[in-house]
Chain A
Amino acid sequence: MRVVCPHCGERDRREFTYQGAAEILDRPAPEVENDAWADYLHLRENPAGETRDMWYHDPCGAWIVMHRDTVSHAVHGGELASEVRK
C-alpha cells in the first residue's frame, strides 16, 4: 500500500503509523459535558467508502489527515494536520 505524505510524496505504508479517525482533531473544550467527551474519545463512524484518518509519517514527523476509501483501498491524498486545523 502506498500512502501520500504532503512533505515527502508517495511512500510505502510501513513508513507510517496509523492513528484512527480524523475526528480526534475536534477536541471539545474542558467545560463540555462528559458524554460529549466520551463520544469524542470512543465513538467512531465505520464508513464503507470515503474516510478521513490520521497517519504519522515517522521519517519526517508530519501528522497527516488522509483521505481514503475503505472499499477500494484507494488513497486520495493527504493534508497536514496543522493546515487542516488552521
Chain B
Amino acid sequence: MRIAGKGLIDTSKTVSFSFDGRRIEGAEGDTVTSALLANDIRLVARSFKYHRPRGILTAGSEEPNALVTTGSGAGAEPNVRATMVEIHEGLEVKSQNRWPSLGFDVLSVNDLAAPFFGAGFYYKTFMWPGALWEKLYEPLIRRAAGLGALSGDNNEDRYERAYAFCDLLVIGAGPAGLMAALTAARAGADVILADEDSRMGGRLLAECEEIDGKPGHIWAAEAVAELAGMENVRLMPRTTVTGAYDQGTYGALERVGLHKAADGHLPRECFWRIVARRSILAAGALERPIAFPDNDRPGIMNAGAVRAYLNRWGVAAGKRVAVYGNNDGAHQTARDLMDAGVEVAAVIDSRKDASVALDAPVITGGRVIATSGRLGLEEITVATGSGQERLKVDCLAVSGGWNPTVHLACHMNGRPVWDEAIQSFVPKAGMIPGMEAAGAANGVFSTAGCLADGAKAGEAAAADLGKKASKTKMPKASDSAYRLEPLWVVEGKGRQWLDFQNDVTVKDVRLAAKENYRSVEHMKRYTTQGMAPDQGKNSNVGALAVLADATGRGIPETGTTTYRPPFVPVSIAAMGAGAQGKGFAPQRFTTSHAASVERGAPMIEAGMWYRPSYFPRPGEKTWRQACDREVTMVREAVGICDVSTLGKIDVQGPDAAAFLDFVYTNTMSTLPVGKVRYGLMLREDGHVMDDGTCARFGEGHFVITTTTAAAALVMRHLEFVAQGLRPDLDVQLVSVTEQWAQFGVVGPKSRDLLNDLLDAPISDETLPYMGHQAAQVMGVRGRLFRISFSGEHAYELAVPARFGEALYRVLVARAEMLGGGAYGMEALNVLRIEKGHITHAEIHGRTTAFDIGFDKMISRKKDCVGQKMAAREGMVEESREQLVGLKPVGAVKQLTAGAHIFVEDAQAKRENDQGYVTSVCYSPTVQSFLGLGFLKNGRARYGERVRLVDHLRGVEAVCEVVNPVFFDPEGGRLRG
C-alpha cells in the first residue's frame, strides 16, 4: 500500500511491468519488491525444498526468499533477488519453483512430508541400489527441489569487463562511507566510492534521521553532489564489490543496463577489477531474523526492511502491523509506521525490562510462539508474561539485531572476532592488507558514530597515502545507544526457520549436532545452511548460535564458516565478457590471408595464426583430391606456400655465435656467412624442444627460425638463457616474425620461376643448397634462402611484410603459368611425411635427439643446454621407442595417428605395446598410405611386419617398418 506523501521517489511517474503475466504498476525508482508491496502482493516465491509460500524478507542484496526470473528467451536470468531489480517499462518478472502457479503449487505436498525430509535425508535414504542414484533419484530430486532454470540457449546480451585503479576504494556509501570518501577526497586522494544501491546514502535513505538539522537523505545527497564535483573522485552506484584479492585487487559487479530495457548497446553488467592502494569497508550491517515457529510466512519481514520500504519508497508493508524485536532499533519501525498513519497492533519486545516510549500496545518480555495464514500472514500468537494473546496482523516486522557486513574483510581467510556487546562478529585489523572497516561494518551502529568512524578511517587512509586531511567538521547526528538482549530461538509448535533460502530449520541444526556434525563446517554441509545465492547472510550467526547451544559451546568457540568471494552472485556472462565466441582471443593473419580466402581455401588455426588448409579447384569434391593434386604439382612443377608464421628471431652481438652454440646442440660458430644450417634445441632435461634453421648474415648476425607452434616458447627460452644463464655473453634478441613475409617456392621449376622475377638471376653455383643471399625482387630488397622442408629443389623468399600480399599474388600467378600453384597445410604435411621430416607431432616433449635419430647432432666439443641430461643412461638406450616409417602391406582403408603398434601376431593389449603412430597421410607420390611413428628399438627392425591398432576408432592395419625417409632418400632433388 502506497502512503501519499511518504518516500523519496516520484510516485506520479508510473512504470508498469509484468509479474507472472500480470500487469503491475509501480513508480519510477521502485524495485520489484517495493512495487509488489505497493500493490499489496506478498506471495512472491516458493521455497527451495518444501515449496513453502514465501514473501519478501529484506530490502537489499541479502534477500533469501524473493528470488525471481527476469527477462525471457535466451537472456532470461534466473534466481535474481527481486529487491535488487529496478523496474522499467516492459520488464518481465516470473516467480520460480512452482507448478502450475504460485498460489497453487502441486509440489507443496513436499511440505506435508517434511517430517521425513530433515537434514541428511538424501544421504540416509537414497543409499541403495547405487545404480539408481544417477538415473532415478538425482533427476527426481533435482526436479522437485531447486530454484530457477537457465534457458539453455546462447545469451546474446552484451556484458563488459573493465579495470580501474585508485588510491582509495570506499565500499558502501552510507554515513560512514560518505564521510570516509569526503575526508580522503578533500585531502587529494584518488577515490572510488562504490555502492550496490542505485542511489547513494545507505541507511540514511531508509531512516527518519536528521544530520546537521536536515533529513539524512538530503545530507547524503549533498555529500554525493560534492563528491561528484571533484575530479579525483569516481562514483560507482549499482556496483557491488564482490571480492577482496591479493595486492589490493577487488572484484566488483556493476549493473550497468539492467535497470533499462536491453537496447543492444548498453552492457547489462560490467565486471570490474579495481586495484586500490587502500580500501575502507563501509558496507553497513545486515539485520537478522528470529527463529520463532512458522516465521517464514509472507508478511513476516525484517523490521529495518519495513522501515526502508516506508521511508524510501513510501510503501507500507501491511495495513495492520506488529513489531517484534530484542533491541531498541525495532521500536523505530513502529514509530515510523505510526507517523505515516499505519496501524501498529503491538510492539513486542522480548526484553522484560525494555522501556518503550510509544503510543501503541506494548508487550515487554513477549514471545511470538505461532503464526497462521496459508499464503500470507493473518494472525500471530504472542506469549505474554501472563498468558497468550492472538493478534490479527498482515505484517510482522522482526529484528533479532544486526550483523556487521564483514564478508569482504574475511576473503583472504582471516576470521572475524565476536563482539559481546552487539552479539555479532566484527572484523579485526589487518585481515586484508590495506583495508580498514568503518561504521556499522565495524560494529558501530549509531549515525553519529558511523560519521565519526568514517571520517577517522578516511583520515587514516589519506595519511597512509601521504596526503594530509584537514580537520573534519563533524556533522551533528543522533547518537542513541544500541541495546539488545540475545534472542535466537523461540520454542513452540511449528518449524523455526533459520535459513529461508535452503529451508533449514533449528531442528535440522540440532539434528546435525546430535549426529555428531558438531563442527560448523560439517553442520553447514550436512544441513546446507549457508549455501546458495545468499550464502547465509541472514542465517549464519543465528545457526551458529543454535549449534553453539546444542554442543554446549560459546559462539566464539564454535567459530564461523569460511567466507569466500563473491559477496553476491556474479553472472558468468559478466566475468567472461569478451570471451564468447572468438571474443578477444587474438587472431594472427598472414599477408596472404585475403588472397587465400579469395581462392576458397578453408582457413585452419595454427596457434593464433590462420593458415590455408588447401586450395580447391573446380571439379574437386573432397579435400583429399585437392591435397593430392597440390602434392603432385609441387613434385612435378612448382608450388607456393606462405611460411611467414614460422618464428623468426634476429640474433646479434659480438657473442651471437657463442650464444647459438650454447642453445643449439650443433655448432653454429663454424657456419660461414651466407650459409644456412639446420639446428636442434633441447630442453635442459635432454628432451627435444624445437628445431629450425639458422642463417648467418655476418660475424655477429644470425637469423634463426622456429616452428610456428613454439615461436613464443623459444623466444622466452632464449631470453632466459641470455639473461639468466649467460649474462656474460653480449647478445641481443628480437623477434622479427611479423616484419618479414616469407614464401616457399618449391619444386623442380622453382628456380625458373624465381629467375623471371629476380633482378639478378641465380644458379646452382651462385646459390647452392643451404645457401642464402640478399635478393632484389622486382625492385624490392629481400632475402632468399635455399632450404627445403619437402625434399624438393626449393627456396624461401622473404620481403618486408608490406610487400607480402603483392609478392604472394605474383608468385602464385607465375606458378600457375608453369603448371603449379598455391598449396596449403595438408599438402605441406604430406610432402614432409614423404620426406620423413619431423614436426611437433614427433617432437612432442617426450622424445630425445636419440629417438628421432639425431643423436649425432649433439656436439661433444662444447657445452649446450640439455647436453648433459641427454647423455644420461636411459635416454640413449636401444630399447627406446625410435622414429620409424610405416608402410602398409597390402590394401588398407586408412592409417590413423594415435594408433598403437604391436608385433603382428601379438594380442593388442597394453602389456604388448611396442610404440605408437604420430603422423599419417596418403602419399600420391608413393601411391600409398604412409605413417611416422615411434617403435621400440625401431631402427633395428626395418623390414619387420607390425600391426597398428587404433582401439578408439576401431581401425587396424598391417605395416612394414621402414626408414622414415620414404622419398628420395639420397636427396638428389634438393641439389638439382
- Contact present for B867 and A81 (CB under 8 Å): no
Interface-lining segment among B104-112, B508-516, B719-727, B877-885: B719-727
Give, as a whole number of angstroms, the nearest-CB distance from B363 to chain A: 52
* B:129-181 near A, CB below 8 Å: 163
- A40–B236 Cα distance when bound, in Å, is 51
Q: Of B249, B724, B725, which is within 8 A of A2 by CB?
A: B249
- A85–B725 Cα distance when bound, in Å, is 8
Q: Which residue of A lies closest to B412 (CB)?
A: A73
Known interface pairs A63-B719, A63-B723; A30-B872 also in contact (CB < 8 Å) = no
Known A30-B863, A80-B723; further 15 A-B contacts with Cβ < 8 A: A1-B249, A12-B163, A17-B716, A25-B724, A25-B725, A28-B868, A56-B716, A56-B720, A58-B716, A62-B723, A63-B724, A73-B246, A73-B247, A75-B247, A82-B724
Known interface pairs A1-B249, A2-B248, A2-B275; A74-B723 also in contact (CB < 8 Å) = no
- By a CB distance below 8 angstroms, the chain A residues around B249 are 1-2
* A:1-52 near B, CB below 8 Å: 1-2, 12, 17, 19, 24-25, 27-28, 30, 34, 37, 41
- A35–B564 Cα distance when bound, in Å, is 44
Interface residue SS majority, chain A: mixed
- A55–B275 Cα distance when bound, in Å, is 21
Could you jot down 13 A-B contacts, CB within 8 Å?
A1-B249, A12-B163, A27-B684, A30-B868, A41-B685, A61-B733, A74-B433, A75-B247, A80-B723, A81-B723, A81-B724, A82-B723, A82-B727
Give, as a whole number of angstroms, the nearest-CB distance from A29 to chain B: 8
| Interface residue A54 (Cβ < 8 Å from any Cβ of B) | yes
Contact bitstring B854-872, A, C-beta under 8 A = 1, else 0:
0000000001000111001
- A5–B933 Cα distance when bound, in Å, is 44
- A61–B720 Cα distance when bound, in Å, is 9
| Interface residue B245 (Cβ < 8 Å from any Cβ of A) | yes
* B:712-759 near A, CB below 8 Å: 715-716, 719-720, 722-725, 727, 733
- A19–B868 Cα distance when bound, in Å, is 21
Q: Which residue of A lies closest to B724 (CB)?
A: A81
- A34–B863 Cα distance when bound, in Å, is 15
- Contact present for A27 and B247 (CB under 8 Å): no
- Contact present for B247 and A2 (CB under 8 Å): yes
- A69–B318 Cα distance when bound, in Å, is 56
- A34–B163 Cα distance when bound, in Å, is 49
Identify the interface centre among B247, B685, B715, B722: most chain A CB within 10 Å of its CB: B247
- Contact present for B684 and A41 (CB under 8 Å): yes
Give, as a whole number of angstroms, the nearest-CB distance from B829 to chain A: 30
Q: Which residue of B lies closest to A31 (CB)?
A: B868
- A63–B725 Cα distance when bound, in Å, is 11
Q: Which residue of A lies closest to B726 (CB)?
A: A85
Q: Which residue of A lies closest to B245 (CB)?
A: A1
Q: Which residue of B lies closest to A86 (CB)?
A: B727
- By a CB distance below 8 angstroms, the chain B residues around A37 are 868-869
- By a CB distance below 8 angstroms, the chain B residues around A27 are 684, 725
- A60–B158 Cα distance when bound, in Å, is 33
Known interface pairs A30-B863, A41-B684, A56-B716; A85-B724 also in contact (CB < 8 Å) = yes
- Contact present for A85 and B727 (CB under 8 Å): yes
- A80–B719 Cα distance when bound, in Å, is 12
Give, as a whole number of angstroms, the nearest-CB distance from B902 to chain A: 33
- A63–B733 Cα distance when bound, in Å, is 13
- Contact present for B245 and A41 (CB under 8 Å): no
Give, as a whole number of angstroms, the nearest-CB distance from B58 to chain A: 34
